[in-house]
């Protein structure tokens, strides 16, 4: 029988009392480990984190908390090889895709470690300048940001077991708020191993970092008024969280990152220069295949002028045809598997839905898998297309969380912008063109419906960070369908874990803040 992974909760390692849920290699089908949280005393663990962990963190300055994050970074860097092995086995990812998750998480954590140093020896932050409250300048107001006296509960998605933890935990721990993470079941092994390494290193005070591997049942019931919850996943589950009494009755602060129908838009260009089209094709093919398309920021809809529909289809298809799919342990493989049989069936079902209103432009399934059989969770990229984007409503409504994207034609720029907005709010859109003024104008017009607008022009072709790559300096989140949440963005990420209050007093008092 495989190992039953332990949970770190209430300041100690605890295994569940049930048989456990098995985690599998999505390529080989072998059982890897089991997870279970049956029998954990949730009330005890949340109280321990809230009272012991929270108090210990708040006693430290931002500089001291940043130093702890730097120490965590060193531990994670020392164990990178083990994390890569776990990711290959449990997520079915090739080495480059593992780097996005593992190294991306470490890099993001390091960014917040550096921020702690700049914030210095304070335990709360000043927000804005002094504001006079009347004719007498002696009496003024100063806003403060102080760490919330609760816990941060993370209910995470399966696609980024490393980055999904550290991009949230970095800002939370730096803010002085203890973390309880519940990783998605299918890929929980990597998250658990990282937490274990950090706990074993003795870096953090007891109760500041906890992990529950197993069911999320009962977790929301433990939340109190000054706790926060951050969820990444489906819109359906997000709706359940938003309607929970902890939120509706106790005003628990919520951050949601949900489904997102992200776009790539090629601007019109009458010069006949295909440079922007080539940049689009390169970025689309990469976004479709990195992590087998299992990214919340991946491109799902591609908008091009009607006259370039066939050229775009050919350019993207030519790149996808070079993608070898199969066992990530084989060095010639460039795209591995989706994470589970459940996810594979979801992608297949979604693909069939999209096909009812789209034609198949590229079918990667015609190519053989490398060192993987038909029972694996490998699925090749598929490019769909619809010349009439107005009537293809299902493409604007349905996210297939895998290596699938749809090419759509538009008549003019106003039509294109209207089509992009049919995504009902997205995490990111990327723009491609050669006219700086036109690119800036479209970015400003689409910014209201997107958390991020990523512009790829020839002058930044080699330096741009990627449509789907979430950088800690920029915010991550999006309005509407994307969940209405916001993470990262440098110091902005700390706002979620702080409470704002106005202190009204004499300037003599305020100067001591």
pLDDT computed for residue 229 by the predictor:
98
Average pLDDT over residues 483-492: 97
CATH superfamily of 262-471: Aldehyde Dehydrogenase; Chain A, domain 2 (3.40.309.10)
pLDDT band at 135 (very low <50, low <70, confident <90, very high): confident
Separation between Cα atoms, residue 14 and residue 133, nearest integer Å: 54
How would DSSP label each residue in 37-92? -TT--HHHHHHHIIIIIHHHHHTS-HHHHHHHHHHHHHHHHHTHHHHHHHHHHHH-
pLDDT computed for residue 273 by the predictor:
83
pLDDT computed for residue 367 by the predictor:
86
Mean confidence (pLDDT) of the chain: 97
In this predicted structure, which of 159-173, 213-227, 363-377 has the lowest mean pLDDT? 363-377
CA distances from 180 to 49, 63, 110, 217 (A): 8, 22, 20, 14
Average pLDDT over residues 286-303: 97
pLDDT band at 365 (very low <50, low <70, confident <90, very high): confident
pLDDT band at 272 (very low <50, low <70, confident <90, very high): confident
The residue extents of the domains of the chain are: 7-258+487-510, 262-471
Q: Is the pLDDT of residue 1 over 90?
A: no
What are phi and psi for residue 169, nearest 5 degrees?
A: -70, -35
Residue with the two structure tokens 């954590």: 109
The pLDDT tens digits of the residues spanning 20-51 come to 999 999 999 999 999 999 999 999 999 999 99
pLDDT computed for residue 470 by the predictor:
97
Q: Is the pLDDT of residue 462 over 90?
A: yes
Q: At what angle do helices 436-446 and 413-421 cross, to 10 degrees?
A: 30
Residue 257 CB contacts under 8 Å (≥ 6 apart), including other chains: 231, 232, 233, 296, 427, 476, 477, 478, 482, 483, 485, 487
pLDDT computed for residue 513 by the predictor:
93
- Through-space distance between the first and last CA atoms of the chain, rounded to whole angstroms: 58
CB count in 10 Å sphere of residue 302:
29
Residue with the two structure tokens 């005890």: 44
Q: Give the CA count within 13 Å in the CB-facing half-sphere of 198.
A: 29
pLDDT band at 259 (very low <50, low <70, confident <90, very high): confident
331 is catalytic: no
Task: Give me the catalytic one of 257, 283, 399, 486.
Answer: 257
Separation between Cα atoms, residue 397 and residue 377, nearest integer Å: 25
The pLDDT tens digits of the residues spanning 332-354 come to 999 999 999 999 999 999 999 99
pLDDT computed for residue 352 by the predictor:
96
Task: Give me the catalytic one of 167, 213, 283, 296.
Answer: 296
pLDDT computed for residue 270 by the predictor:
82
Q: Is the pLDDT of residue 409 over 90?
A: yes
**Closest by Cα among 146, 142, 141, 163 to 154:** 163
pLDDT band at 137 (very low <50, low <70, confident <90, very high): confident
The pLDDT tens digits of the residues spanning 177-218 come to 999 999 999 999 999 999 999 999 999 999 999 999 999 999
Average pLDDT over residues 431-450: 97
CATH class, domain 7-258+487-510, is alpha beta
Separation between Cα atoms, residue 446 and residue 427, nearest integer Å: 12
Instruction: Provide the percentage of residues in the chain whose pLDDT is more than 90.
Output: 96
Q: Give the CA count within 13 Å in the CB-facing half-sphere of 148.
A: 24
213 is catalytic: no
**Closest by Cα among 119, 227, 176 to 491:** 119
pLDDT computed for residue 327 by the predictor:
97
pLDDT band at 264 (very low <50, low <70, confident <90, very high): very high
Average pLDDT over residues 165-188: 98
């Amino acid at each position: 029988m495989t190992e039953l992974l332990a949970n770190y909760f209430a300041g100690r390692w605890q295994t569940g009392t049930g048989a456990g849920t098995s985690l599998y290699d999505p390529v080989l089908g072998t059982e890897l480990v089991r997870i279970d949280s049956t029998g954990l005393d949730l009330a005890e663990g949340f109280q321990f984190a809230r009272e012991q962990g929270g108090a210990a963190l708040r006693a430290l300055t931002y500089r001291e908390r940043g130093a702890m994050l730097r120490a965590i970074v060193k531990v994670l860097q020392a164990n990178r090889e083990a994390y890569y092995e776990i990711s290959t086995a449990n997520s079915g990812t090739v080495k480059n895709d593992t780097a996005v998750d593992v190294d991306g998480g470490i890099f993001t954590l390091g960014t917040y470690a550096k921020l702690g140093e700049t914030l210095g020896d304070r335990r709360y932050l000043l927000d804005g300048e002094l504001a006079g409250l009347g004719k007498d300048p002696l009496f003024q107001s100063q806003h403060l940001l102080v760490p919330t006296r609760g816990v941060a509960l993370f209910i995470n998605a399966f696609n980024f077991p490393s980055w999904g933890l550290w991009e949230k935990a970095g800002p939370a721990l730096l803010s002085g708020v203890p973390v309880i993470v519940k990783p998605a079941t299918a890929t929980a092994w990597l998250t658990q191993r990282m937490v274990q390494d950090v706990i074993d290193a003795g870096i953090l005070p007891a109760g500041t970092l906890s992990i529950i591997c197993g069911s999320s049942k009962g977790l929301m019931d433990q939340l109190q008024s000054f706790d926060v919850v951050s969820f990444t996943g489906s819109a359906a589950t997000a709706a359940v969280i938003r309607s929970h009494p902890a939120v509706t009755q106790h005003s628990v602060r919520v951050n949601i990152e949900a489904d997102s129908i992200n776009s790539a838009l090629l601007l019109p260009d009458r010069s006949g220069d295909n440079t922007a089209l080539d940049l689009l094709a390169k970025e689309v093919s990469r976004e479709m295949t990195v992590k087998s398309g299992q990214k919340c920021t991946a491109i799902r809809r591609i908008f091009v002028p009607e006259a370039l529909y066939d050229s775009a289809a050919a350019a993207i298809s030519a790149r996808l045809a070079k993608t070898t799919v199969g066992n990530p342990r084989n060095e010639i493989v460039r795209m591995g598997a989706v994470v589970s049989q459940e996810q594979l069936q979801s992608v297949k079902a979604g693909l069939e839905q999209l096909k009812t209103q789209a034609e198949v432009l590229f079918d990667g399934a015609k190519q053989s898998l490398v060192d993987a059989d038909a029972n694996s969770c490998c699925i090749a990229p598929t490019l769909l297309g619809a010349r009439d984007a107005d009537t293809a409503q299902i493409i604007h409504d349905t996210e297939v969380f895998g290596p699938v994207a749809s090419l759509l034609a538009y008549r003019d720029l106003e039509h294109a912008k209207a089509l992009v907005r049919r995504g009902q709010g997205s995490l990111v859109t990327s723009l491609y063109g050669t006219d700086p003024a036109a690119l800036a104008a479209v970015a400003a017009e689409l910014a209201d419906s997107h958390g991020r607008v990523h512009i790829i022009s020839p002058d930044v072709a080699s330096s741009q960070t990627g449509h789907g790559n979430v950088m800690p300096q920029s915010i991550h989140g999006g309005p509407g369908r994307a969940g209405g949440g916001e993470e990262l963005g440098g110091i902005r990420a700390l706002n979620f874990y702080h409470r704002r209050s106005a202190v009204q007093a004499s300037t003599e008092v305020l100067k001591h803040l």
